[in-house]
Structure 1
């Protein structure tokens, strides 16, 4: 397990769920890792889970100034960055009539604006070669009710991955996207549903997955390891869908 030996990596939203599991696997593969989050409790949990060699930083994924500050901290800590997994994101599911401007802006700030300006801030310290991985969503490709703003934000992020791949490849930076389907993570507990509502939502979603189950964070993390490693040097501007066949229906 040495596919990332010597690589310096950033994982945003790396204190829980997919991000934390990816950080574990990056470290197991030999990488030096920095993770970000905003919740003091999960930041501390990540410190304990990842050990003293991991760098755990508080950073607001939707704040442009925080992206510049984060790049500065990483330059001080690592000098350069070899791999970036832009995983931090927010998902709000509600009907069209329930949306307001503040909620729309929050979703796009975290899911689109923050990632764009993070890549901009990191570009001067990206190694050559380097890998940027964006965490999209299968919702960008399917017409799931109540997901309008979330799906639109992830569609924008996926498009950003394609255009940035063309813009940055001449610098030795490849950009790719992972688009997960339903994954068993704490994200679903943050949607504001009651336990009964969560069970109903989970049951409805499960019926749309040919594989017959939700995915595990480790299955997304393994894909991120591949895209961060030198095994994927000819993979540029791609979108890897990990959804148990959901998008085939």
Structure 2
């Protein structure tokens, strides 16, 4: 069933993981999908596989966001769904977190999310859906996640305020908060395979459903929150897709 036929959907960070799965989901439901990414080769590969348009964009760079908005407006006009998904994570104790890691996470996860929303406002249709990718970490106090968790918590609060500010235009704003999810990002944590496997086992032991999620779990929730026929009365919500870990 093509629920999103004639709808324009923009997904930042759509060349892998949750963004890729969400692009695939919207495409299967008839949407015109545009994905962004800052790795040119990966973006081109994903665009071809998905049959969608890819636009090279670094979410932490405001000039890139300006160009993205202009390009989309010129080619597609108004946007019906904006999934602000691009993000980055490093995990280290406070004592060993570098300024570079701090700046990268804040600039991509919070600053980038804020200005992506701001700069898209003029081309969002009234009644559009905005979904932010936050994190299950917003409900936890997990060691070695201080900056990552803080940056995603900032996104969560931004979404609640945006939901109020944009309500006169009937633009709904929600967050999806994944728990441990099998994505490509896990290979970028800077850990060797043994350490990464140990971390996964430890995390799974804290999940009531005793498993990790998959990107498609989140993709289906984003599509649900963007479907005005079933979620028109939902805004300002935070939806945890974490196997009960936040409990």
Q: Same fold (TM over 0.5)?
A: yes
2:71 maps to: 73
1:245 maps to: 244
Aligned ranges 1:1-249 → 2 under 5 Å: 1-51=1-51, 54-230=52-228, 231-248=230-247
Distance in 1, Cα, partners of 2:183 & 2:131: 19
Distance in 1, Cα, partners of 2:84 & 2:43: 17
CA contact (8 A) 2:35 2:47 kept: no
- What is the TM-score with the length of structure 1 in the denominator? 0.97
CA contact (8 A) 1:129 1:172 kept: yes
**1:41 Cα shift?**
2.4
**1:164 Cα shift?**
0.5
Distance in 2, Cα, partners of 1:215 & 1:103: 26
Distance in 1, Cα, partners of 2:64 & 2:96: 29
**1:48 Cα shift?**
2.1
Distance in 2, Cα, partners of 1:205 & 1:41: 32
Distance in 2, Cα, partners of 1:131 & 1:74: 17
**What SS does the aligned partner of 2:166 have?**
helix
Q: CA RMSD in A?
A: 0.8
Deviation readout 1:215-234 (Å, 9 max, x if unpaired): 01111000010011112111
CA contact (8 A) 1:4 1:228 kept: no
**What SS does the aligned partner of 2:117 have?**
helix
Deviation readout 1:151-193 (Å, 9 max, x if unpaired): 0000000000000000011112110000000011011101010
Q: Which structure 2 residue ranges, 5 or more long, are not aligned?
A: none
Deviation readout 1:62-91 (Å, 9 max, x if unpaired): 111111111111101111000000000001
Query: Bigger CA drift: 223-232 or 130-139?
Result: 223-232
Number of residue pairs the alignment of both structures matches: 246
- What is the TM-score with the length of structure 2 in the denominator? 0.98
CA contact (8 A) 1:8 1:31 kept: yes
Distance in 1, Cα, partners of 2:38 & 2:114: 19
